[in-house]
Every structure is written in C-alpha cells, then in structure tokens.
Amino acid sequence: MSKRLPYLLQLLESSPTDSFVLFAVAKEYEGAGDTGKALEYYQKLRAIDPGYVGLYYHLGKLFEQQLDLENAIVAYKQGIEIARKASDFHALSELQGALLNLEDPEEL
C-alpha cells in the first residue's frame, strides 16, 4: 500500500463527496493492483459527480483490463458526451481514440 492512500482516505472521511479525492483514491487502489476497490471508487465518483471528465477514460481502461468490453464502451461513450459538453477537447480526443481502438482495432 502506498503512503498516500491512508492520507487520501482520511481526506475522504472529512470530504466524502470531493471528486478529486475520490479519483485519487481510485487511482491509488488501481496502482496497487486492487481493481475491485478501484472500480468501487470510480463508481462512487460517477454517482456523485457524473460530469468529472477525467473519470471516464480511466474507468474504461479498468473495464478493458477486466475484459469487460461492453462496460468499457459504455464508459467511453458517456465520457465522450461529457467531454463534448465541457468543451474538453483533449479528453474528447483520448476517449474517441480509446473507443475507436476498442470497437475497431483493425482501423488503427
């Protein structure tokens, strides 16, 4: 376990709806190889702040690692819509690339 995780969990106790902290906790669990916990925190973040653009690429990649391609596609498509609404063209490009690669890898 990283030294950051206990600190982040402590922050989360005092601010349970802090999107950045939820995302950071998910990334820490993912980095530690605990994909179940990572998914749990990504899902909490999506429920609390569905407009958090950075979530969808990482959630989609986690689903891909778990070979849950259907949910990966859903996550990418949701992220594309949110990135469009937010005019976040960098995230939009990354999400579109990930989706294209997943739906039609022969095209790359």
What is the residue extent of each domain of the chain?
A: 1-49, 51-108
pLDDT tens digits, residue range 65-86? 999 999 999 999 999 999 999 9
Give the helix/strand (H/E) hosting 102. Answer: helix 89-103
CATH of region 51-108, choose from 2.60.120.10, 1.10.340.30, 1.25.40.10, 3.65.10.10: 1.25.40.10
- Cβ atoms of 69 and 39 within 8 Å: the answer is no
Of residues 108 and 48, more confidently modeled: 48
**3-class DSSP state of 15:** coil
Quick check: 108 pLDDT over 50?
Answer: no
* Token reading at 14: 């005092």
CA distances from 56 to 39, 73, 106 (A): 12, 10, 23
Which single residue is written with the structure tokens 């022969």?
106
